[in-house]
Amino acid sequence: MVTLSDPGMAPGASSPEAAAPAPYPFPGEVTPITPNTETQYNTEEYHLITDNTFHLAKDNPLSTFSIDVDTASYSNLRRFITSGQLPPPDAVRIEELINYFTYDYPQPEGDRPFSITTEISQAPWNPQHQLVHIGLQGKQMVREEIPPSNLVFLLDVSGSMSAPNKLPLVKSSLQMLVNQLSERDRVSIVVYAGAAGLVLSPTPGNQKAKILEAIDRLNSGGSTAGGAGIKLAYEVAKRTYLPDGNNRVILATDGDFNVGASSDSELVRLIESYRDRGVFLTVLGFGMGNLKDSKMEQLADKGNGNYGYIDTEKEAQKMLVTEMGGTLLTIAKDVKIQVEFNPDRVRAYRLIGYENRILQDRDFNDDRKDAGELGSGHSVTALYEIIPTGVDSDIPLPTIDPLRYQTNSSEITDPTGYKADELMLVKLRYKHPDKNKSQLIAEPVVDRQISLENSSNNFKFSAAVAEFGMILRNSEDRGDASFTQVLDLAKGSRGADLEGYRKEFIELVETARELEER
């Protein structure tokens, strides 16, 4: 059983360790490990995903979920397709595909950490249905506004990490991140294999040669004591805690925890306890063959962090350099969305993706309920497919028996009043990273549908990505979805695409179509 030290310490609390983090004892340096050449087997693991179904608005008018800014599913999907095979359906999390890309949303105004953008048009795969696009844009902080970072690199150097797309890619990825740091930041390095140890004591970010040398001399070998490594990394982060800074453990691994204290529940409790004390977790996945996607996603979610999969140096550049603020700096935590549909205009609806982020309706107002985090400059996009009232559909819709003791569920009871042309009400709750009380934003969405041809590039491209995901998942609700339609939408909404990510998506779709036709 993992034991915790000082579990009651809160972020910013006055303590000897917080006020004066050095000097203090650390374990000795770890001896380089001989690479493991044992044969590897494919033991990749993914959580089962069951697509969200349609709900009748008159019976279930509320839809509640936690935001998700993870992008691992997209880069993992890219790895499969570029290697000549379609990904398994459960590796395709549609919301992560959509949120891999940036969209042209306005920056927030005033004190709000994000802006809200909505748009309504036809669902490309079923023109009788509507598609509602909801976009959140996190405030972009300039480098001078970003607080100092206390980063603990937790690196898996076990034998399973010896492949070229694992530890060597970890090292080059972290070298990119280190080059972005300044003297205000500090870096520590913890490694784990058969045992866990510290290879770099806390070091100012401007001592790059020392940090890069410690990274460069890492080798792989041995079994994987992941639980012990995580425990040690958090203890180091606690001892070097910056009350007004960004305190984060960055775990780089293929997710294979097979020796030591490594049960999911035990690791989750450890991560949650430090999350509540202001130390967050970013998880970076590497490699193939034994990728434990399901475990890494869970750990990042519980640690108020994000989960990314790095398959190339270009992806490392995207996550750790181009989008470093969003990856490492949380501007709002426990961000929840609740949508109330107007049954006078909406017959049924379904949320596309976010299957593992669904919350109970009562969780929206419960500040004890954990939810997703939003980083500096991050955008979050969610899509709802809607069957308007009066539209006949061959899609099976759920029904419930009439309620004996309730008023007609289609009656609008909001005492503040509403306008008859409202399609739905979008509500968001969020907390400041160091606060425990949430704030509420509510905005009605008027039912003003525009044609698909006249919709924005944001709308058309996100719809193309969602449709691609539904095809790969062979979703029952894919309707008339096709690779050809995906390509037409994506090519017509590529926009400026300065980094070339949308161009790459189009190439992936073309490759996937070829693989499907074989």
CATH number of the domain enclosing 199? 3.40.50.410
Same domain, 163 and 308: yes
Compute the radius of gyration of the chain from its Cα atoms.
Answer: 23
pLDDT of residue 258: 54
Long-range contacts of 270-276 (CB under 8 A, 24+ apart): 270/2, 270/4, 270/230, 270/231, 270/234, 271/230, 271/234, 271/299, 271/302, 271/303, 272/302, 272/303, 272/370, 273/4, 273/7, 274/234, 274/237, 274/238, 274/249, 274/303, 275/302, 275/303, 275/304, 276/10
pLDDT of residue 254: 87
Which residue, 268, 293, 327, sits at the end of a domain? 327
CB of 430 closer than 8 Å to CB of 341 = no
What is the distance between the alpha carbons of residues 243 and 237, in angstroms, rounded to a whole number?
12
Neighbours of 439 (CB within 10 A): 14
Same domain, 154 and 216: yes
Place of tokens 């190339």: 312
pLDDT of residue 127: 94
What is the distance between the alpha carbons of residues 511 and 427, in angstroms, rounded to a whole number?
39
The token duo for 265 is: 């529940």
Report yes or no on 96 lying in a domain. Answer: yes
Report yes or no on 355 lying in a domain. Answer: yes
Report yes or no on 115 lying in a domain. Answer: yes
- Mark 358-373 as b/e (b = at least 16 C-beta within 10 Å): ebeeebbeeeebbbbb
* C-alpha separations of 156 from 2, 153, 175, 254, 313 in Å: 19, 10, 16, 8, 18
Same domain, 274 and 371: no
Same domain, 271 and 346: no
**Which residues sit opposite 308 in a β-bridge?**
284
pLDDT of residue 75: 97
Burial class (CB in 10 A: 0-12, 13-18, 19+), 226: buried
Report yes or no on 246 lying in a domain. Answer: yes
pLDDT of residue 118: 97
Which residue, 289, 309, 327, sits at the end of a domain? 327
Report yes or no on 473 lying in a domain. Answer: yes
Task: Write out pLDDT tens, residues 154-174.
Answer: 999 988 888 889 999 999 999
pLDDT of residue 387: 97
* C-alpha separations of 515 from 84, 367, 490 in Å: 7, 46, 19
- Say how many Å lie between the first and final Cα of the chain, rounded: 50
What is the distance between the alpha carbons of residues 393 and 396, in angstroms, rounded to a whole number?
8
The stretches in the chain having pLDDT less than 70 are 1-41, 194, 222-225, 257-263, 406-418
What CATH number has the domain bearing residue 66?
A: 2.60.40.1230
- Mark 87-105 as b/e (b = at least 16 C-beta within 10 Å): beebbbbbbbbbbbbbbeb
Write a three-state SS string for 56-124. ECCCCCEEEEECCCCCHHHHHHHHHHHCCCCCCHHHCCHHHHHCCCCCCCCCCCCCCCEEEEEEEEEEC
Same domain, 95 and 115: yes
Same domain, 323 and 336: no
Three-class secondary structure of residue 290 per DSSP: coil
Report yes or no on 129 lying in a domain. Answer: yes
DSSP calls for 161-198: G-STTSHHHHHHHHHHHHTT--TT-EEEEEEESSSEEE
The token duo for 209 is: 């040669």
Same domain, 70 and 110: yes
Nearest to 16 by CA among 25, 7, 24, 8: 24
Same domain, 313 and 342: no
Report yes or no on 28 lying in a domain. Answer: no
CB of 309 closer than 8 Å to CB of 91 = no
CB of 334 closer than 8 Å to CB of 364 = no
Domain count within the chain? 3
What is the distance between the alpha carbons of residues 419 and 118, in angstroms, rounded to a whole number?
17
The token duo for 168 is: 């060597």
Three-class secondary structure of residue 296 per DSSP: helix
Same domain, 152 and 116: no
Report yes or no on 10 lying in a domain. Answer: no
Same domain, 425 and 508: no
Task: Write out pLDDT tens, residues 457-467.
Answer: 999 999 999 99
pLDDT of residue 417: 60
pLDDT of residue 136: 96
Domain that holds residue 264: 148-327
The token duo for 136 is: 């959140």
Same domain, 132 and 161: no
Same domain, 175 and 98: no
CB of 103 closer than 8 Å to CB of 381 = yes
What is the distance between the alpha carbons of residues 258 and 263, in angstroms, rounded to a whole number?
9
